[in-house]
């Protein structure tokens, strides 16, 4: 069913020019502590659902890694059931990668963050400190702070006075936010990557204003004891009204071509999409509202700024074909410009959304059909005669769970002492519980239910809800990444995180560095 391959073999496959889905099936916290640079997290707890989204071609060469604990074998069995035909397991798990002399990286979205650091080094992206920005604010100098993150992140916490405009929208909308070419523009994010990429996007798009990345973003602001805003609602105008769009379009196209981006007519794109031996991603890089309004069926919404910031959340297959869509000729070329430099085969469709209506976008070859678990109302729960297994996040369990429920997660269900003749009641999201029920059924369980409702509903039904701040223990919380969790609240954690970002480029070996292709000034 699955072949076993060495770390050296996987290492060679990463740069042999063929497609590769290199997937880490450990849980999020385990993955985030130490993983190969170009591996993608597809945790076993939601494996069938996630793999079908990010690796849609059943013929793709797939490599699974775990903690050398048998989870790759479980995932390989599920992958085979879904229809994947070229499944490989890396011998020895993630630690064998280090044992072979290769680096394990901490954190998430590491390829994108590493690229941000390389970009700053190569292009000398201008930056400004939090202290200097605060001085500009106090002096009321002519400047604007633009937050390059999605609105939800910005609304959660932001620099006072900042305006939300995600990086993928910056070049298109900047003149509607900053009409004067004399105004200083400062781009920020929570840390470093999107500050650097946002500022450099504006520079490379030909925006003539003085432009700076806020050094270390909101964390840099926090570290010098400056106040953070919560709940800010300032945002870019929805309508694009400025007259520079044609000029920006020409610059964006030129930049993209410098990086090797191809611009495809619909007939050329269709010819490529017809190749069923290849993996194709058709990605609409516009805003969520635009995609909801007239997105093309079969395309995937991947807002441009986040696609560059977190490429591994959409694209699990190296050397896959990427076709980007917009309706303005600015956003897709600039996103493709960055993706090409990150080593992805990004192309742009001529004519954008309207032309895309003539595409024959392949239907998903991999679909995950899993039977839902029969629902149990809280009022019908007999807690005394049932075994309650809580599959929600470890944090949610700590904060509020039914007294007597055991916290667990799909890869650890086999560690529980279960009586298969007993009613097993699962607590959690429909997908997670359905996949866990599949494993329980395979081990002999015959009566598995899913509890409906929320902690408030459970209280209303008379169930006892308890809080356990230390249970599960930190060691047991394999779904939680401690590495990044406290960086907005704890200065030591923030300093550690920022140092980690800065040091990423120095960890690259020659092969890893060669997989990035910076296009220069």
Q: Which residues lie below 8 Å from residue 152, measured CB to CB, with a gap of 6+? A: none
Residue positions counted in the chain: 521
Tokens, residue 162: 């900042």
Name the 3-class secondary structure at 237. coil
Q: What φ, ψ does residue 47 adopt, rounded to 5°? A: -55, -55
Contact status, residue 147 vs residue 165, Cβ threshold 8 Å: yes
Measured distance CA(401)–CA(229) in Å, rounded: 32
Measured distance CA(475)–CA(365) in Å, rounded: 38
What is the tens place of the pLDDT at every residue in 131-182? 999 999 999 999 999 999 999 999 999 999 999 999 999 999 999 999 999 9
The reported pLDDT for the residue numbered 369 is 74
Using alpha carbons, select from 90, 84, 108, 85 the residue that is nearest to residue 32: 108
Tokens, residue 460: 């209303």
pLDDT mean across residues, the chain: 95
Using alpha carbons, select from 52, 36, 113 the residue that is nearest to residue 84: 52
pLDDT at 487 exceeding the cut of 80: no
Strand order across the beta sheet in which 386-390 lies: 375-376, 448-451, 423-427, 386-390, 406-407
Query: In the 8-state DSSP scheme, what is residue 46?
Result: G
Domain architecture of the chain: domains with CATH:
3-107 (3.40.250.10), 114-242 (3.40.250.10), 260-356 (3.40.250.10), 375-472 (3.40.250.10)
Burial of 99 (0-12, 13-18, 19+ CB in 10 A): exposed
DSSP one-letter string for 462-505 = T--EE--TTSS-GGG-TT--HHHHTTTT-HHHHHHHHHHHHHHH
pLDDT at 515 exceeding the cut of 90: yes
The reported pLDDT for the residue numbered 180 is 96
Measured distance CA(123)–CA(121) in Å, rounded: 6
> Of all residues in the chain, what percent carry a pLDDT higher than 90?
91
What is the tens place of the pLDDT at every residue in 273-318? 999 999 999 999 999 999 999 999 999 999 999 999 999 999 999 9
């Amino acid at each position: 069913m699955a072949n076993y391959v060495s770390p050296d073999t996987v290492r060679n496959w990463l740069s042999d020019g063929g497609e590769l889905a290199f997937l880490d099936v450990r849980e999020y916290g385990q993955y985030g502590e130490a993983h190969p640079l170009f591996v993608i997290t597809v945790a076993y707890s939601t494996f069938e659902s996630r793999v079908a989204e990010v690796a849609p071609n059943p013929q793709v060469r797939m490599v699974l890694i775990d903690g050398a604990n048998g989870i790759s074998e479980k995932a390989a069995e599920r992958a085979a059931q879904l229809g994947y035909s070229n499944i490989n397991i890396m011998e020895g798990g993630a630690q064998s990668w280090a044992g072979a002399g290769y680096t394990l990286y901490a954190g998430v979205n590491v390829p994108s963050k590493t690229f941000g650091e390389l970009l700053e080094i190569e292009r000398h992206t201008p930056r400004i400190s939090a202290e200097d920005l605060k001085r500009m604010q106090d002096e009321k100098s002519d400047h604007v702070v633009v937050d390059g993150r999605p609105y939800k992140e910005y609304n959660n916490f932001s620099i006072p006075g900042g305006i939300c405009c995600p990086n993928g929208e910056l070049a298109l909308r900047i003149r509607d936010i900053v009409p004067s070419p004399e105004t200083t523009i400062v781009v920020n994010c929570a840390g470093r990557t999107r500050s650097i990429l946002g500022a450099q996007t504006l520079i490379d798009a030909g925006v003539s204003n003085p432009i700076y990345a806020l050094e270390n973003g909101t964390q840099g602001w926090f570290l010098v004891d400056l106040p953070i805003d919560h709940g800010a609602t300032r945002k870019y105008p929805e309508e694009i009204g400025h007259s520079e769009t044609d000029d920006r379009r020409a610059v964006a196209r030129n930049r993209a071509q410098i990086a090797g981006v191809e611009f495809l007519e619909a007939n050329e794109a269709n010819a490529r999409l017809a190749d069923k031996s290849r993996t194709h991603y058709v990605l609409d890089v516009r805003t969520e509202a635009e995609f909801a309004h007239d997105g093309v069926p079969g395309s995937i919404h991947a807002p441009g700024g986040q696609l560059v910031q977190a490429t591994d959340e959409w694209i699990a297959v190296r050397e896959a074909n990427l076709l980007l869509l917009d309706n303005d000729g600015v956003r897709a070329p600039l996103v493709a410009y960055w993706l090409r430099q990150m080593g992805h085969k990004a192309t742009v469709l001529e004519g954008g959304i309207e032309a895309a209506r003539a595409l024959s976008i392949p239907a998903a070859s991999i679909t995950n059909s899993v039977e839902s678990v029969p629902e149990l109302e809280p009022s019908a729960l007999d807690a005394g005669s049932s075994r309650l297994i809580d599959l929600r996040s470890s944090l949610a369990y700590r904060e509020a769970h039914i007294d007597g429920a055991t916290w667990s997660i799909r890869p650890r269900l086999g560690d529980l002492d279960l009586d298969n003749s007993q009613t097993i009641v699962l607590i959690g999201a429909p997908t997670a519980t359905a996949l866990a029920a599949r494993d329980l059924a395979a081990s002999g369980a015959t009566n598995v239910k899913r509890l409906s409702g929320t902690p408030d509903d459970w209280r209303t039904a008379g169930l006892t809800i308890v809080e356990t701040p230390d249970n599960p223990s930190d060691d047991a919380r394999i779904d939680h990444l401690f590495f990044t969790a406290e960086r907005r609240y704890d200065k030591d954690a923030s300093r550690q995180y920022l140092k980690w970002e800065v040091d990423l480029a120095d960890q690259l070996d020659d092969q890893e560095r060669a997989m990035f292709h910076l296009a220069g000034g």
